[in-house]
Amino acid sequence: MPITSHTELYNPILLAVHLTVRILNNLKCTVIMARITQPITNTEAKQAKPRDKIYTLFDGGGLVLRVNPSGSKKWILNYTQPFTKKRTSISFGTYPYVTIAEARALREKTKALLEKNIDPKSHRDELDQQSQTAKKHTLKSVACDWLPVKKTKVSSDHADKLFRSLEIHIFAKLGSIPISEIKAPLVIQTLKPLAAKGNLQTVSRVCQRINEVMFYAVNTGIIDNNPLAQIREAFEVAKKKHMPTIKPEQLPHLLRSVAQASIKRTTRCLIEWQLHTMTRPSEAAGARWDELDLEKKLWIIPAERMKKGKEHSIPLTPQAIALLEVMRPISSHREYIFPSDRNSKSHTNPSTANVALKRMGFGGQLVAHGMRSIASTTLNEQGFDPDVIESALAHVDKNEVRRAYNRAEYLMRRKEMMAWWSEYIEKSSIGCLSISTLN
């Protein structure tokens, strides 16, 4: 607004208006000048030559290309930290490895973080830490950490068996992948060949076991969620198969076959020991001399060797003790009652009895674990208390409330029942010489 007369020069109001307009015009020019900062062109970036001192090319929005005396050119974004309000900067890498377009995209992402009051440097450090953690925590390494925890809940042998199945079916292909990158399609694709062979029971078990590892990872803060929770739904449901076994009336035939078979004395004793004690194959094969209390006539299996992780006491009948006397000259100087042929410091393989039964012609009809079913069926038919039978088999009541209130081991009643069972086996072996009757 120009001053048009001498009188106006001395008019305070008009003078104030005039000065205000000039100030506003100057501010407007300053804003316009700030807005017309020319972005860096690719030619400018390429042709920027090093000088004696560091200098910068401005691209706008705080983004600059810093040219060093060495000739290197680094992208820098200057910004104000959200909470401290201090001026700082963050590097986006060097030109031309990081292009102008990529640097500008990083600038916009960084500004988006600042709008949310997130410091981009702290954010990047956190992502780097997560990446390092992911590389460290592979599926197999997490499973190795899970294994000792699992061994506190089941027997050590059983836990090792679970881990071995994961090694065979999962770790061979996926073990080295960070657990954070393990997704359902990847695991499903890995298990499809196994399912195609009809091994649906194995697929189901492997799905359950890998889920245990994944949930362990969630609970320990390694990953946020378990993407494998429903992978069993991707496969057909396996028809439940009971362990092959024979009827109680076929027991004499079994004992005759064991007596006549061309098998080692240790193997024969192992089969009869498992039959008399009603134990699982791994429990029987791993029996140690120091687990026996012959004064009390008890075999006390420690919790770490039991499937359910609970100590189990078994009354020893005269027939069971007779089997120990057969084994005494063979292994009493060793740790295990039924030693391995290949390694005297270890026990026989839990599958030894299975292999022997198969050679005797019981393949598909009876497995070593099925001998527990013979005992259970016989004792139930004879009217023994089902709770006492279940206790002898070391089964855990599925009813949590009932299990909490029913902790009795029925040891005295089990002694009577086990004595009856051993006598039943002995009577069934008449004419075929059970090894427990030879002493």
Catalytic residues: 280, 307, 369, 372, 395, 405
Residue whose C-alpha is closest to residue 250's, from 78, 393, 359, 378: 378
Tokens of 203: 């697929």
CA distance 262 to 268: 9
* Residue 394 Rama label (left phi>0; alpha psi -120 to 50; beta): left
Residue that the structure tokens 């008890």 belong to: 298
CA distances from 123 to 91, 111, 134 (A): 13, 12, 17
Query: How far does CA 36 lie from the centroid of its chain?
Result: 58
Angle between helices 156-166 and 139-150 (to 10 degrees): 160
Taken as a whole, the chain contains a residue count of: 439
CA distance 100 to 46: 11
DSSP 8-class letter at 175: T
**188-192: long-range contacts at Cβ-Cβ below 8 A with a sequence spacing of 24 or more?**
188/231, 188/234, 188/235, 191/231, 191/235
> Which alpha helices (DSSP H) does 220-264 contain, by range?
251-260
* Residue 364 Rama label (left phi>0; alpha psi -120 to 50; beta): left
Tokens of 301: 């299996």
CA distance 215 to 228: 9
* Residue 127 Rama label (left phi>0; alpha psi -120 to 50; beta): alpha
Residue 89 contacts residue 79 (beta carbons within 8 Å): yes
Other beta carbons within 10 Å of 338? 24
Other beta carbons within 10 Å of 172? 12
Helix or strand (DSSP H, E) at 3: none
Residue 145 contacts residue 217 (beta carbons within 8 Å): no
| Percent helix, strand and coil across the chain, each to the nearest 5 | 55, 10, 35
Other beta carbons within 10 Å of 302? 15
β partners of residue 58: 64
